[in-house]
Amino acid sequence: MKILLCFGTRPEAIKMAPVYHQLKKQVNVEVKLCVTAQHREMLDQVLDFFNIVPDYDLDVMQPNQTLNSLSALILSNIDIVFKEVKPDLVLVHGDTTTSSIVALAAFHLGIKVGHVEAGLRSFNKQAPFPEEINRQLTTKLADIHFSPTAVATQNLLNEGVLQENIVQTGNTVVDALLWTLTKISKEGYELPEIEILKKTIPLGKKIVLVTGHRRENYGDGFENVCNALSSIAKRDDVSIVYPVHLNPNVQDVVYQKLAHQENIYLIAPVSYPAFVWLMQHSFLILTDSGGIQEEAPSLGKPVLVTRTISERLEGIVAGFSTLVGTDKNKIIETIHSVLDNFSAFEDIKNPYGTGDASKQIVNFLASKI
């Protein structure tokens, strides 16, 4: 069997890295990897950390790129790769423009598609945008659906996907997280980035780790979040650490509102291992990221989600995550409550898996050879 993995962003690379390495162990599988480089620098950091060298690199990222121009470039360029590789199966991940457009291109050529992290739904096509429609499109195009949870499986069944085409595996991000924790904790492992963070951030305080990048929060949303953080920073027992996304819609607001404030540390985006280290040392995490909602339970960290809806309901139901939206007062009130009252989760069981999702995916594929 010849399998081609395609992805283009940092989150996809993190979540597909364990699948790639697991596939490489199979003697009857020929594995090729194509990256679109929808993200460039952030993608390359992850590939380097996980010791992955792509066979094909479309390098489609351009300045001020629109979703339509990105989609057109991927659609036209992936054809060349498909014709050379002639894969039996293309594996895509999640909800990016890369995943949906590559799946469409494979469909056009009669190539089967496997969708990793299938079945997530917010049921609101504007939130997250464009991810919600991307994943729905990919579901329509996919032949095999690797769903991470029972909720995701039920979403697929509700949409008419046959049970025989669904494989429930857990989320591969847990595999990647556990692999990373093992690597960065090994004696002798050093990353200059982490060493700098150790000297920069007061680890004796309660660290509030913040991330944000969602389009739906541009403007008033990010302003409200920043105003809330400004209020929280008045506490003497808190350090707010914010790796600021490179998008000007985020950077301009964050630096205008929070630069030079005491107890707030605005830093450049960090590599994946450095971010895992930050999560390890945080007290709570304020984020609009999906991946962090899946990783944090394994670390026992509470997550406050700056969105009004989430396609990752399992963490919310289990009590690991709380939706706070971008309402300033709700963010302030909830952060204070967690800082003052949270000690630990009594029974830590990550609803997104135990770290064997990639093995389950590859075992299923190997059974079809």
User: Is there a domain that residue 302 lies in?
Assistant: yes
What is the number of structural domains in the chain? 2
**Order of strands, sheet of 206-210, starting from the edge strand that comes earlier in the sequence:** 264-267, 238-243, 206-210, 284-287, 303-305, 321-323
What is the average per-residue pLDDT within 165-185? 97
**204 & 252 share domain:** yes
Q: pLDDT per residue over 9-25, tens digit each?
A: 999 999 999 999 999 99
What pLDDT shows up at residue 259? 96
SS3 314: helix
**337 & 360 share domain:** no
User: Is there a domain that residue 186 lies in?
Assistant: no
**54 & 198 share domain:** no
Using the predicted structure, report yes or no on whether residue 98 has a pLDDT greater than 90: yes
**72 & 210 share domain:** no
Amino acid at 255: Y
Least confident of 34-38, 174-178, 320-324: 34-38
User: How long is the chain?
Assistant: 369
Cβ atoms of residues 212 and 288 within 8 Å: yes
Least confident of 173-182, 234-243, 252-261, 340-349: 340-349
Q: pLDDT per residue over 190-220, tens digit each?
A: 899 999 999 999 999 999 999 998 888 889 9
CA 295 centroid distance within chain: 9
What does pTM read for this prediction? 0.94
Using the predicted structure, report yes or no on whether residue 237 has a pLDDT greater than 90: yes
What is the average per-residue pLDDT within 174-200? 94
Rounded to 10°, the helix 192-200/272-281 angle is 30
Report the 10 Å Cβ neighbour count for 291. 22
User: Is there a domain that residue 95 lies in?
Assistant: yes
Q: pLDDT per residue over 296-353, tens digit each?
A: 999 999 999 999 999 999 999 999 999 999 999 999 999 999 999 999 998 888 999 9
**101 & 239 share domain:** no
User: Is there a domain that residue 205 lies in?
Assistant: yes
**28 & 59 share domain:** yes
**Residue 278 belongs to domain with CATH number:** 3.40.50.2000
Q: How confident is the model at residue 40 (pLDDT cuts 50, 70, 90)?
A: confident
**358 & 335 share domain:** no
Helix residue ranges per DSSP H, the chain: 10-24, 41-49, 67-85, 97-108, 131-141, 150-158, 172-185, 192-200, 220-232, 248-258, 272-281, 290-299, 313-318, 328-341, 357-367
Q: Annotate 103-164 with DSSP letters as a single string.
A: HHHHHHTT-EEEEET-----S-TTTTTTHHHHHHHHHHH-SEEEESSHHHHHHHHHTT--GG
What is the average per-residue pLDDT within 71-88? 97
**166 & 279 share domain:** no
Cβ atoms of residues 331 and 238 within 8 Å: no
Partners of residue 19 on adjacent β-strands = none
User: Is there a domain that residue 177 lies in?
Assistant: no
User: Is there a domain that residue 94 lies in?
Assistant: yes
Structural domain span for residue 91: 2-171+353-367
Q: How confident is the model at residue 188 (pLDDT cuts 50, 70, 90)?
A: confident
Which residues are annotated as catalytic?
95, 117, 131, 213, 215, 245
